[in-house]
Structure 1
Amino acid sequence: MSSRERSSRERILGRVRRALADVPREEAPYERAVERDYLREHGTRTVAETVELLAENLADYRAVVHRCDEDGLPSVIAGLLRERGAASVAVPPGLEEAWLADTDVTRVPDRAEDTAAALDRVDSVVTACAVAVAETGTIVLDGSPDQGRRRITLVPDHHICVVRVPEQVVASVPQALERLDPLRPSTWISGPSATSDIELDRVEGVHGPRTLEVVLVDGAAASR
């Protein structure tokens, strides 16, 4: 941390301490003062029904959903890259090598020195995920080795995200938060990047990929 960053940090913490100086010591801390009796899950579903809800909500947000088993995953990813006409794909350092075994598309490693302009020339990116939320159709990335830096999933126009089901699928946001490390950067993705102008015309690809393809990889537990 530079001296300037340290000075800014100390200045901010000093303001917080001054703001809290007149708070009575007997006052309950925030984590106990705020009631958290909200529903942790809306309705009762089986594991299979939760996975199906995820697929439905992903599609509702205009993500393209694919299903396969572990053995079929390399073929599915190769087919998606081929259909996209991708000549290059960004690859997180911890991505399983077998996932790209069926394609000879040029791999672009996730490197700190890469600029946004360089990443903009990459056609696609393939990542895993940290967790997926069924009720909101949301995929969460946390910067783990198989997901890479946040920018590799924001700059390329085509994102293929692999979700292992059912083990990476939860019903609700509270359940997802319990699985995430609060010290890691998280990116919450609900469909391809989109926004609307003042006339409510939808524009995709403004803040991230125009196309999000989610591959749900079924495990043995999914059929229970």
Structure 2
Amino acid sequence: MNGGTSRERILGRVRRALTDVPRDERPEDRPVVRDYLRTHGERTTSESLDLLAENLADYRALVHRVTATDLSALLARLLAERGARRVVAPAGLPGEWLADAAVDILSDAPVLTAHELDEVDSVVTGCALAIAETGTLVLGGGPGQGRRALTLVPDHHLCVVRTVDQVVDSVPQALERLAPAAARPLTWISGPSATSDIELDRVEGVHGPRTLEVILLAEDPRSV
């Protein structure tokens, strides 16, 4: 006797585990204790930025640091070194960011097709947040970030992170900041897209860009 299907056995275990739960009890009647650490250690702002840069690099992202006055020149240089000619700039991206770049700038209005995005050389975006402890970028579809496909189809993604207000230490802190945007789909990025086959041969660019470059932008007080 095999005791039923796997589904029946699992559901049976769930029912037995719930035998002592009153039928009228609701999930909110039993608050979940959330006393886990909000951050792993205390850091200065500079230490958090160093940790973010270290974890981004550990995920094989290319990291650059720049002030606002030099941002457009850096973007122009990185795109030129890449040989990029067609670049997507999502709605809301500051126009001055690409002012020095010798490229054709494409907008996503009307919406670019997957085929059109596949022919794009690079995409330049901002972000919603960056998480130091995990080296993660979070995009929420806000101004300068665009819809999800813009950063998944092109082979090269340049993402600008404002260090003054977009870097948090931990995932719990990020979730608190992102709560108002919960209605929008969020893209969490930890390094370039990659996968491996059964022989553990790493292949990059399967589910997103092969190359991720992150620019940590220190705001120039004169531009605020």
1:71 counterpart (69, 72, 76): 69
Distance 1:80 1:108 in 2: 18
Q: How big is the shift at 1:218? A: 1.1
Instruction: Confirm whether residue 29 of structure 1 aligns to residue 55 of structure 2.
Output: no
Q: What is residue 207 of structure 1 aligned with on the other side?
A: 207
Q: What is the distance in 2 between the residues matched to 1:109 and 1:50? A: 34
Structure label with greater radius of gyration = 2
Q: Secondary structure at the match of 2:112?
A: coil
Matched, 1:159 2:157: yes
Would you say the 8 A contact 2:164–2:218 is kept in 1? yes
* Contact 2:68/2:220 (8 A) holds in 1: no
Q: How does 1:119-198 map to 2 (within 5 A)?
A: 119-180=117-178, 181-198=181-198
Once residues 49 and 23 of structure 2 are traced to their aligned partners in structure 1, the CA distance between those partners, rounded to angstroms, is 47
Cα displacement (A) at 1:34: 2.1
Deviations 1:2-34 (A, max 9, x none): xxxxxxxxxxxxxxxxxxxx974443418x532
1:118 to 78, 92, 116: 116
CA RMSD of aligned residues (A): 1.7
Q: Deviations over 1:155-176 (max 9, x none)?
A: 0000000001131100000101
Judged with a 3 Å threshold, the aligned counterparts in structure 2 of structure 1 residues 132 and 158 are, in CA distance, closer, same or farther, namely same
The structural deviation recorded for 1:111 is 3.0
Does the CA contact (< 8 Å) of 1:47 and 1:166 recur in 2?
A: no
Residues 1:23 and 1:91: Cα distance change in structure 2 (over 3 Å): farther
8 Å CA contact 1:61–1:192 kept in 2: the answer is yes
Distance apart, 1:124 and its partner CA: 0.1
1:172-218: CA deviation from partner (whole Å, max 9, x where unpaired): 00101111121111000001000111111111000000000000011
Q: Structure 1: state its 5+ residue gaps.
A: 1-21
Does the Cα contact within 8 Å between 1:156 and 1:209 map onto a contact in 2? Answer: yes
Helix, strand or coil for the counterpart of 2:158?
Answer: strand
Contact 2:138 2:189 in 1 (8 A): yes
The Cα offsets for residues 123-150 of structure 1, whole Å up to 9 and x where unpaired, read as 0000000000000000000001210111
Write out aligned runs for 1:78-93 (5 A): 78-93=76-91
Deviation at 1:103, TM superposition (A): 1.1
| TM-aligned CA distance change 1:199 to 1:219, over 3 Å | same
Distance 2:199 2:27 in 1: 46
Looking at structure 2, the residues matched to 23 and 100 of structure 1 have their Cα atoms a distance apart, in angstroms, of 61
**Residue 49 (str. 1) matches residue 41 (str. 2):** no
- Seq. identity, %: 63
> Any stretches of 5+ residues in structure 2 without a counterpart?
1-20
Instruction: Call closer, same or farther: CA 1:23–1:110 in 2, change over 3 Å.
Output: farther
List per-residue Cα deviations over 1:68-87 (Å, max 9, x = no partner): 00000000100010000001
Aligned counterparts of 1:125 and 1:23: Cα–Cα separation in 2: 54
